[in-house]
Amino acid sequence: MPELPEVETVKNILEPLVKGKKIAEIDVYFPRLVLTPLSEFKSKLIGATITGLSRYGKFLFIHFDNSFVIISHLRMEGKYRFTKEYNPIRASSACFKFNDDTYLFYDDTRKFGIMYLTDEEHYLQEKMIAKLGPEANKIQDSDLPLLYKKFNKKKPMKALLLDQEILCGIGNIYADEILYATKINPLTLGNELSHSQIDEIAKNAKIILSRAIELGGSTIHSFHPSEGVDGKFQAVLMCYGKEGEICPNCGTTFHKIYVGGRGTTFCPNCQINKHYEKAIGITGPIGSGKSQVLNHLKDKGYLTISCDEEIHELYKDPIHKNKISRILKTDFDIDDERKRKIARLIMIEKPDKKKEVEKYIYPVLEEKLIKYITDNELVAIEVPLLFKAHFEFLFKKIFVLSLNKEKQVQNLENRGDSLEISLKLNSDYHYDKSNKKVILIENNRSLNDLFEQIDKNLN
């Protein structure tokens, strides 16, 4: 659906083409387009001259010299087409013939667009216009107190941004872009926002929509502002429509969900859902004592989850097993020691294959972890590659275990692990030192010392 920048672009393209044009004839091929009685619509406009175009939100206004105004909404795929010859197409819903033998067609494949005839005195007071909130690209400081009240609802922010009675002109594309720029999760409820966050939404709405207007809007799917004219903002979209791509801010894969039936793209790590952010995360190099900490938290009443065990179970699923086999180009079976070792060696020797496996399995694992977290209050999860998988958004605290090389080798030998393979697999381990959730735990001494550090930081 064309949003505020696209409708502004239509206005800017169309106005110089039709301003000063006098209507000689009107053909309406799809009567439901016009909400005014057709006879009245035609009688009041034939002979009238277009004096200019204006816009409010997603509505386009065509002004005439006899003080009448057409209120036009393009809805899903409506577009105006100015021609020098009479050439209706299958999508054409109406045609305005001018007295100089030029034509303005209104084409609409989906037939959702509307036109309504009113006058200069009343067009801004018509119900469909009067109920609209301030334009999202022109928010003033004086608008903010009312926005604080209107956003103070138990509804997801994505839905509230699409509510034209709160702010008008924002549709699906720009709602995703504004929330991403503001680092607000689309499922965050309006009444959970601070005034400063709403101020940020207002600021980013103005910046993003103004930039989109400069670039002629976004040409997405089948919408084009005019025949042979494409907007350019889609080339600089940061978030919308990028499901499965990598967030440029943090490297997390963009997710897609549906909010109120509308497809919604977001970065779960930049746009954290506070309702998920409640588990304890445990991570660290191979042999650093993660399982011992997990067992300690289990004794303290936590539901404990080992991601290694969870992935092991996922790999048993025939669907996932077949997918991994295709990625690695070998017959993969997690319960077959020989096949498991072959797969492990492939991932060591071909890091790109390892990345492909991780890219596939991490989202599946993430779904399982989110269910554990939403269904339980006290949850501790051991995630060896927590930062590589970008699961930071699930945790309120992240215990990163560290130890010296001597202690690590000793622990691996006690476990009977292959030192060479374990250390090679672990060579790319890293953690985000700047993350405020991170608590570094040194495990170079006794178990009691390790557990004391954990207990101290739990509090």
Helix then strand then coil, in percent of the chain rounded to 5, is 40, 20, 40
Catalytic option among 211, 262, 278, 359: 262
For residues 304 and 290, what is the distance between their CA atoms, to the nearest angstrom? 12
Active-site residue flag, 88? no
Burial grade of 212 (CB within 10 A; 0-12, 13-18, 19 or more): buried
For 176, the enclosing helix (H) or strand (E) is helix 172-182
As beta bridge partners, residue 258 has 263
- Ramachandran bin of 244, using left for φ above 0, alpha for ψ from -120 to 50, beta for the remaining angles: left
250: which residues sit within 8 A by CB, 6+ positions away?
A: 267, 269, 270, 390
User: Is-catalytic flag, 3?
Assistant: yes
The encoded tokens of residue 161 equal 């941004």
Q: Find the catalytic residue in 11, 21, 55, 58.
A: 58
Tell me whether residue 368 is one of the annotated catalytic residues. Answer: no
Choose, from 2, 134, 156, 285, the residue flagged as catalytic: 2
Of 3, 77, 177, 382, catalytic: 3
Nearest to 253, CA basis, from 381, 354, 360, 325: 360
DSSP 321: H
Residues 6+ apart with CB under 8 A from 382: 282, 283, 290, 291, 293, 294, 304, 305, 306, 307, 308
* Catalytic site includes residue 203: no
Catalytic residue list: 2-3, 58, 262
